[in-house]
Amino acid sequence: MIPNKYPQSHTSLPRAFVDAVRGERSIPHSRGLLVLDHDADSLRYTGHYVDFHPLAGDGCELDLESVYANHVQSLIDTRGPGRRVRFGQISRVPRRLTSFF
């Protein structure tokens, strides 16, 4: 029998994950973000809650470059040719909320 060998993650990732969860749970305006997944108006309008959160994908990867390319890059704003800004999903949340109604 061959023992399972799993790839090692970057040493900073476990700490970064814990820090991210703590940060998410301790932001001062967290109550104001409840509208992203528990908006009463969307419930009345559609009969269910609408999830307005940015989508990061559901992959599970250890390679930092792959995580950035596949899960992070679509969330953040980037500059393209001619210094044009491409808004990521996080910046587009207010537009998604207002255009829903």
pLDDT tens-digit readout, 40-96? 888 898 898 888 888 777 777 778 888 888 888 889 998 888 889 989 988 988 888
Query: Is residue 44 assigned to a domain?
Result: yes
pTM higher than the cut 0.85: no
Q: CA 3 from chain center: how many Å? A: 35
Is it the case that residue 97 has pLDDT exceeding 60?
yes
The vertex-90 CA angle with 86 and 95, nearest 5°, equals 80
Q: Give the chain's domain count.
A: 1
Q: Tally the C-alpha atoms within 13 A of residue 3's C-alpha that lie toward its C-beta.
A: 3
Listed residue (71, 74, 34) closest to 50, CA to CA: 34
Residue 42 sits in which domain range? 32-100
CA distance linking residue 89 with residue 32, whole number of Å: 18
Whether 78 maps to a domain, the answer reads yes
**77 falls within a domain:** yes
In a domain, 9, yes or no: no
